[in-house]
Amino acid sequence: MSLRRRLHRTRPLVRPRRGMALLTVIVLGVVAMTIALASSMLVMASTVSTKASERTAMVDDAALAGLEEARNRLNAKLDTVPANGIVTLENGATIAGTHGIKRFTWVSRIGNSDSLANAGEFGVQAEIVSRAVDKSGTVAIRREVIFQESFAKYAYFTDVGRTVSNGILWFANGWTAHGPMHSNDSLYIYDGAPPQAIFKDVVTTAKGVYNPNDAQWDKGRAKIISPIAMPGTADLNIVRDIAANAGYVFTPSVVTGDSALTTMRIEFVAIDIDGNGQANGPDEGFFRIYQSRSTNPWGHGYTAARTQAAPGGAYAPNDSVMYSPNCGVTSLVGGVRVVAQRFRHIPTLGAGTYAQRMEAKRLAYENSNARCFLGGDPRLNNGVFAASDSAGNWLPRTSGTVPPAVAARPDGAYLWPLSPRFNPAFRGTIFVEGRVGLSGVVRGRVTIAARNNIVILDDLTQATAPGNTTCTADDDIVGVFAGEHVLWADNQIQSPQQRRTNDGTGWVLPRKDFSPSPARPDFQLHAVVMALRTIASERPNPPSGLNSDYYVDRGFVRQVGGRIMQRAGTGGTISGGRIHGFTSDISFNRCSLSFPPPYFPTTGHWRVSQYLEIDPRGFDINEWFARR
């Protein structure tokens, strides 16, 4: 009998739901589709964003390019910036290679309303605005503030590298330029052991350099660039018009003599108003004006303390300086040296030898306290200010006011303010229709311009010496701008004087220096000087036939500033190791790079000051510039 085992299948206790697997598949499919769709959308968004960014960048680049293209056109003189209003340089121009981007570009002058043509209170400024838009409406607006370089940026600038007689102007004997330098002509370096010339800064020329190996180039050899045009009469007229608004245009009442004879002089005065022991406050700068009158018994050279003639039997009357109304023996009054009696008024004997007749004058001449002063100086009148004297008068103030402390001074009615606080129309310019002499201490920012020659009669310095500041808009700065020449005076202050021997047949050596300046034998000049013709010494050459023993060495012109001129004039003459005239020592005032003298002429070259972006929402170009 066989046994068989019977198998039994156990039935599950719970019966599974039908269709669950299908639902799971569907859910997983939806999730997968969602992820795929999201991924696709992200890729699409990234692509759209990238394209939008590229389009925005392209539009922005077009606007930026518009700024530089406009500036390049201005520098190439293809376009100009108007004195007033807006110029449209591009009006919906389609930019090549940009798929239809259009550009609008405008330029307008900014700053004060007197920033005209090639002059400006702090340089000429303008603004270029460029608006670019593509077909989709993406907009970018960029602006560029530009400024014209002032000629005050140069330590030395010449248009022609030759003298008036066409002689070459050689840089030699270690001649040094401490700041930027340019010549529209060739630079002539003397052939000799280097360095014949030392260039401390960037040098440019429109032609080339002779003997470059004989010079020292601290910032690389000279680069050749396009010529830079000198200013002209139009620039003088701009300065005149601005000065006229303040009532600071003056015309000499007497015009006579040679081109260096100035019958009007401007003396700058710094006054300690607040009593702090320093005359460097913002409102402590003034000037006064002395001029010769037509009926002048002392001669019109009195205003500038001019020596009548050079020494030498054929060139001057005997001992002209000993008859001078500008000189006398001084004594201390209140700490100031003043003249009680002028040489002119010291009597001579009517009989006897030359020595006997001149004895009183000779003693005065040889007195260690003998000094000479410019015409009208109170020190010539025993220290007392006189509104007029036998030779001329001080001009009473007709523009501006002065504070009570200044008004109470004896010369209070004859002081003109250099501060806009006391003359709101004053914008930093003084103009003379003719020739004028300058001297004194300047507190403030001023450009003195003259139609003809400007003669530096005595030290002309800043109240705060240049180089002692960090360069701010309130620094003292002086610009001198002559329509013809700027000259270093040959007068009884700048030039040592001479007297006859006791028998009257020869001259006594050495000469005597009568200047009251402690800086003598040099004279100090803190100014950027521009002459549309030359900068030179008055009478730099000795009279024909004069022995070199009698040459007049006037010392150094210690200038801190710059010289800009059509061509360099003669400073002095050397013969047998003896010098007749001045020797130059020029340092550069770097503050004139950032804060040049007011309304000093510019080179016309536009440089970038800053780039900025403008919000395109509600932008209107007329409203924009109306707010500038």
Q: What is the pLDDT of residues 195-216, one digit of tens each?
A: 999 999 999 999 999 999 999 9
Evaluate if residue 26 carries a pLDDT over 60.
Answer: no
User: What pLDDT, on a 0 to 100 scale, did the predictor assign at position 140?
Assistant: 93
Residue 468 placed within a domain? yes
Which range of 48-57, 274-283, 311-320 scores highest in mean pLDDT? It is 274-283
Closest by CA position to 594, among listed 75, 286, 149, 285: 149
**pLDDT in the model for residue 628:** 67
611 and 522 in a single domain? The answer is no
Considering only 46-55, 59-68, 94-103, 361-370, which range has the smallest mean pLDDT? 46-55
* Mean pLDDT confidence for 490-499: 93
Q: Is residue 177 included in any domain, yes or no?
A: no
The total domain count for the chain is 2
Q: Which of 64-78, 352-366, 475-489, 597-611 has the highest mean pLDDT?
A: 475-489
Tokens 């920033």 sit on residue: 115
Q: Is residue 3 part of a domain?
A: no
Q: Is 345 within the bounds of a domain?
A: yes
Identify whether 157 is part of a domain.
no
| Inside any domain, residue 191 | no
Per mean pLDDT, which range of 335-339, 461-465, 506-510 is the poorest? 506-510
Does 94 fall in a domain? yes
Report CA-CA distances (Å) from 335 to 22, 258, 312, 547. Answer: 117, 38, 38, 41
Q: Strand 327-333 to strand 285-292: parallel, antiparallel, or no bridges (unpaired)?
A: unpaired
User: Is the Cβ–Cβ distance between 467 and 560 less than 8 Å?
Assistant: yes
Size of the chain in residues: 628
Which pLDDT value is given to residue 111?
61
Mean pLDDT calculated for residue range 87-103: 91
pLDDT reported for residue 117 = 44
| Separation between Cα atoms, residue 388 and residue 394, nearest integer Å | 6
**Is residue 531 located within the same domain as residue 555?**
yes
Inform me whether the pLDDT recorded for 370 exceeds 60: yes
- Taking a C-beta distance cutoff of 8 angstroms, is the pair 357, 500 a contact? no
| pLDDT 10s digits, 147-179 | 888 999 999 999 998 888 888 888 888 889 999
At residue 351 the predicted structure's pLDDT band, cuts being 50, 70 and 90, is: confident
Give me the pLDDT at residue 37, please: 53
Residue 496: predicted pLDDT: 94
Mean pLDDT on 371-393: 96
Q: Are residues 367 and 268 in the same domain?
A: yes
Which pLDDT band, with edges at 50, 70 and 90, does 41 fall under? Answer: very low
Q: Give the residue with greater pLDDT, 367 vs 518.
A: 367
Check if the beta carbon of residue 110 is closer than 8 Å to that of residue 87: no
Rg (CA), the chain: 38
Q: CB of 299 within 8 A of CB of 321?
A: no
Instruction: State the pLDDT at residue 77.
Output: 82
Task: Cis check for the bond before 227: say yes or no (omega within 30 of 0).
Answer: no
Residues 136 and 281 in one domain: no
Give the per-residue pLDDT at 353. Answer: 86
State whether 459 and 475 are in the same domain: yes
One domain for residues 559 and 619: no
477 and 613 together in one domain: no
- Indicate if 519 and 620 belong to the same structural domain: no
More confident residue, 34 or 442: 442
Q: What is the pLDDT of residue 474?
A: 87
Q: Where residue 538 falls among pLDDT bands split at 50, 70, 90?
A: very high
Residue 317 has what pLDDT?
A: 66
Average pLDDT over residues 89-118: 79
Please give the average per-residue pLDDT across 422-448, as a whole number: 96
Between 217 and 310, the higher pLDDT residue: 217
Whether residue 243 sits in one domain with residue 137: no
Q: Of 1-10, 529-538, 570-579, give the range with the top mean pLDDT.
A: 529-538
Task: Spell out a b/e string for 390-404, using b for 16 or more CB atoms within 10 Å of the CB, else e.
Answer: ebbbbbebeebebbe
**Residue 210 and residue 188 in contact, taking contact as beta carbons nearer than 8 Å:** yes
Residues 515 and 476 in one domain: yes
Q: Can you tell me the distance from the alpha carbon of 436 to that of 116, in angstroms, rounded to the nearest whole number?
A: 25
Q: Do residues 368 and 493 both lie within one domain?
A: yes
pLDDT at 40 over 70: no
Containing structural domain, residue 113: 52-150+607-626
Segment 544-565, tens digit of pLDDT: 888 888 899 999 999 999 999 9
Single out the residue of 594, 583, 468 nearest to residue 173, CA to CA.
583
Does the pLDDT of residue 252 top 70, yes or no? yes
pLDDT tier for residue 3 given thresholds of 50, 70 and 90: very low
What is the arithmetic mean of pLDDT over 289-305?
A: 94
Task: Give the pLDDT score at 79.
Answer: 87
Q: Is residue 225 one of the residues assigned to a domain?
A: no
Among 223-227, 318-322, 425-429, 485-489, the least confident range: 318-322
| H or E, element range at 330 | strand 327-333
User: What pLDDT shows up at residue 497?
Assistant: 93
Would the pLDDT of 458 be above 90? yes
Per-chain mean pLDDT for the chain: 87
Exposed, middle or buried: residue 220 (CB in 10 Å: 0-12, 13-18, 19+)? exposed
Q: Are residues 486 and 522 in the same domain?
A: yes
Query: For residues 76 and 584, what is the distance between their CA atoms, to the nearest angstrom?
Result: 36
Q: Hey, is 306 helix, strand or coil?
A: strand
E strand or H helix that includes residue 439: strand 436-442
